[in-house]
Structure 1
Amino acid sequence: MGNQSKTLIVVVEKADNNFSAYIQGVDGIIATGATFEEIKRNMADAIVATIEECREFGYELPEELSGEYALVFKMDVKSLLEFYNGIFSKSGLERITGINQKQLWHYASGMRNPRPEQTLKLETALHKLGEELLSIQL
């Protein structure tokens, strides 16, 4: 049996003045940051620190952190819209998602949570945009 890579879900949420993140199902590993890159870097640092601490003090390493693993970052729609507020306009998001601006405003303000179909529609549109941007060379 070969080593199989696990997927660890890192949940990113809006905190008071920045964003916080934790690994779903793994206690005690948290990170904060004002940008997505900062959260990714701080989470990677927190994982390394936890592994080193376990080795140094003889603590049991959380099973999820043994062997190969990949981090996948998950946000709720409200946090995502707030996180990228200065980058995506509601009209731009309406164009690529087909979700009207009023609905997007409700999601961003937390007044309403999107139905699962709307969440998938938003995620699919953003992933498609990301793929398009990755295929462009300047």
Structure 2
Amino acid sequence: MIIKAFIERSSEGGYSVYVDQNNNDLNYGIHGIGNTAKEAVDDFVSAYETMKEFYRVKGKGFVEAKFEFMYDTASFLQFYSTYFTLAGLSRLTGINQGQLSHYLNGKRNPSKRTIEKIDSSIHDFAKNLSQVQVV
């Protein structure tokens, strides 16, 4: 079962990962926190494994899941900043590098249209990249 897990940057600057509490597919709740998006994801995965072990020890049924991580813009930019430079992401999306920096640092929030532009640009890039063969 694939469950959406949401990664968001908090107003204090940290990150959290959570599953929608209205999702009734799981018989438990988990979350993760960290100073970076990666730390929060790692904490979330650790919480999942801990909960799984807890249910095993208690002899309770545990709903296994795989998680699809959904990022807010700041979390995405921070998480993938070791793979994409803002200059490269600017060329890819057509969004000014300074504007991307504001999103990354939480100084501004992108509009829905800008979020869609980033999302579609990244997916188009990934699709093109998946067709590359190095010989």
Are 1:39 and 2:41 counterparts? yes
CA contact (8 A) 1:77 1:119 kept: yes
Provide the residue aligned with 2:58 in structure 1.
Answer: 57
CA contact (8 A) 1:23 1:30 kept: no
Counterparts in 2 of 1:118 and 1:17: CA distance versus 1, 3 Å: closer
TM-fit CA distance, 1:77: 0.7
% same residue: 27
Provide the residue aligned with 2:7 in structure 1.
Answer: 12
Q: Distance in 2 between matches of 1:32 and 1:111?
A: 20
Q: Distance in 1 between matches of 2:105 and 2:70?
A: 19
Are 1:119 and 2:115 counterparts? yes
The answer for unaligned runs of 5 or more in structure 1 is none
Provide the residue aligned with 1:89 in structure 2.
Answer: 85
Out of 98, 103, 111, the position equivalent to 2:99 is 103
Provide the residue aligned with 1:136 in structure 2.
Answer: 132
Q: How high is the TM-score relative to the length of structure 1?
A: 0.68
CA contact (8 A) 2:7 2:69 kept: yes
The answer for unaligned runs of 5 or more in structure 2 is 22-27
TM-fit CA distance, 1:78: 1.0
TM-fit CA distance, 1:70: 3.8
Q: What RMSD in Å do the two structures reach over aligned CA positions? A: 3.3
Residue 17 of structure 2 aligns to a residue whose secondary structure is strand
Count of residues in Structure 1 that have an aligned counterpart in Structure 2: 127
Q: Which amino acid aligns with 1:30?
A: G
Q: Distance in 2 between matches of 1:106 and 1:44?
A: 29
Counterparts in 2 of 1:31 and 1:90: CA distance versus 1, 3 Å: closer
Counterparts in 2 of 1:100 and 1:29: CA distance versus 1, 3 Å: closer
Provide the residue aligned with 1:27 in structure 2.
Answer: 29
TM-fit CA distance, 1:17: 9.6
